[in-house]
Chains A and B, each alone.
Chain A
Amino acid sequence: MTEMRVASTVFIAIIVLSFVVALVSRRNHAHQNSRDFFAASGQFGGVLVFLLAVGETYSIGSIMGFPAGALHDGIPFVGWFLGYILLAYPVGYFLNPLIWKAGRRAEALTFADLFRTCFPSRFLEIAVTLSAIFFMLPFGELQMAGLIATIGEFHWPFSPVVIAGGCAVLTFSWLALSGVRAPAFVSAIKDSIVILAVVFISIAVLRHESWHGLVQASRSMKPATAGDNVHTITTIIIQALGFCVAPQSIAFLFTARSSGIVRRNQILMPLYMLMFPLLLLCTLYASATGLPLSGKNTVFIDVALALLPSWGLGLVMAACALSGLVILAGICLCIGSLVSRNLVHGLPDSRQKTCAKLVITLYLVFSVYTAMHFSVLMPVLTTVYYLGIVQFFPAVLCVCLELRVPSGFVTAGFLAGEAVSVGLAFSGVPVGNVNPGFIGLVLNAGMVALGLAANASRPVPRR
């Protein structure tokens, strides 16, 4: 009992610290316009942009999901998970600076602003905005579900709805204080604590279990089948591309001071992934010792409960909770900006912030509600996230390379890609284990290429 009290104290202290840091991030920026609220006026240096971007890699889903997925699904899971995140970085190395430059040309704050400037089609702008919002909807619920599971381990006398409500209030207060600056500054604490938690837990695993036992456990991991391989490779390709054109990732790029910062960060990001081998040690420990698990996704927490002293447990719980809250804040901000700038057109600057805050409140209420009632539906929507998001890729490439493609071709390609991907995914039509998103992307890219060819064959008008 006393142990849990110590863990709770450490946890609460770190959460309070995150609030103080969010408050500090407001210094000198108390009166923000919408550009500062959504994109920090493009003033962030390398460290803050790195922390914002890398937060996507270490969400509560990764920290809790990676050890659990490796335990249940074996090597194909590890190959897919590490493969797509790792390969997203070289894609981003070349693509992100171009996106940043296109953003500066268009004075963009959201990814849909890029479309508005390059393709004169209000229909396309609305289509990509609605599509992005739809595909991001389940992420709030996922973070909430993770937060409820994590905080639930303290066995506080609060119902899940109170816990989720508390998380929603904290997230809103961060954003209301200083917009995108708050999650960026809080990420600094979050990442330090995540690194400490993962290192502590790895040391504990190595102290309590022999290397031989862990190696034996690694050999009992499920290998891949030929069918797995086709699916894994096509999934890695679409997710690596999709990762770079995700609306929230693009919005974070616009906070950077220069394209050089954006590019240099990509070089370092794979090194940050060296935490995943340490996370895998939790899986191997659970497998080697036959550790009883309290839930499907709780390997990381269960190993921490078994091996760490109470203060260490508080640290691990805080790392998981902050990971969820930072991602939640980023998604809220992205959805808020998309609605206030791209769905509702022509709002004056001061009203954009108010509108975004209203949307953020509604989204947080929606996330709490769905976490309570629709936990079965949301994982289905998450499955289609990358199928849909990757369909932005051909259009974003056209924007970055300043390719002149008629907006009709881009819109048709984008909608056909989404319809084919989602249709194939849910109809059960056999596609030889190829990821349906890949088929949709090929169709989408083909239509955009056709548009490019049609435009190239058009005679250049005489001046």
Chain B
Amino acid sequence: MLAYSGFAVGLVLPFLAVLGPLPWLSSGTLVIGGIPAALVWLFACLPLTSLCMAVAWKLEKRGRQDRDD
């Protein structure tokens, strides 16, 4: 179960986060702090993707510990 969660958080979530809103944001006129929302969201996705993989790493580690126990 934890392996599937790791896959969902580490791979599926970053793809959804980047590709999901991209068409809507990059062709729209929404701005955040005066900057096009597409740019703000893409730049925010950089640390968020790292975070997703770090969570996947933790989940995998916990899964391994559970198996060992």
Contacts and interface: CB of A to CB of B under 8 A. Distances in A.
A450 interface: no
B36 A266 contact: no
A357 B35 CA distance: 50
A277 interface: yes
Interface in B10-36: 10-11, 14-15, 18-19, 22-23, 26-29, 31, 33-36
A83 B38 CA distance: 11
A78 interface: yes
A194 to B, nearest CB: 17
Given A218-B35, A219-B36, A233 B22 contact: yes
A83 B10 contact: no
Interface in B49-65: 49-50, 52-54, 56-57
Most interface-central of A86, A212, A225, A233 (chain B CB within 10 A): A86
A307 B34 CA distance: 25
A378 interface: no
Main SS of chain A's interface residues?
helix
A79 B11 contact: no
Contact of A280 (B14, B18, B19, B39): B39
B33 A215 contact: yes
Nearest to B27: A224
Contacts of A91: 11
Contacts, number: 116
Interface residues of A, number: 42
B2 interface: no
Contacts of B43: 82, 274, 276-277
B46 A87 contact: no
Contact of B11 (A76, A90, A226, A276): A90
Contact of A83 (B18, B33, B50): B18
A305 to B, nearest CB: 26
Nearest to A273: B46
A79 B43 CA distance: 10
A225 B28 CA distance: 9
B46 to A, nearest CB: 5
Interface string A220-231: 010111101100
A229 B25 CA distance: 10
Contact of B39 (A75, A86, A266, A274): A75
Interface of B: 7, 10-11, 14-15, 18-19, 22-23, 26-29, 31, 33-36, 38-39, 42-43, 45-47, 49-50, 52-54, 56-57
Given A83-B18, A86-B49, A90-B15, 5 more contacts: A93-B56, A94-B11, A218-B35, A236-B18, A271-B47
28 contacts: A76-B26, A79-B42, A83-B18, A83-B22, A86-B14, A86-B18, A87-B49, A90-B10, A90-B14, A93-B53, A94-B7, A215-B33, A218-B35, A221-B39, A223-B27, A223-B36, A224-B26, A229-B23, A229-B26, A232-B23, A233-B22, A263-B57, A267-B53, A269-B50, A270-B49, A271-B50, A274-B47, A276-B46
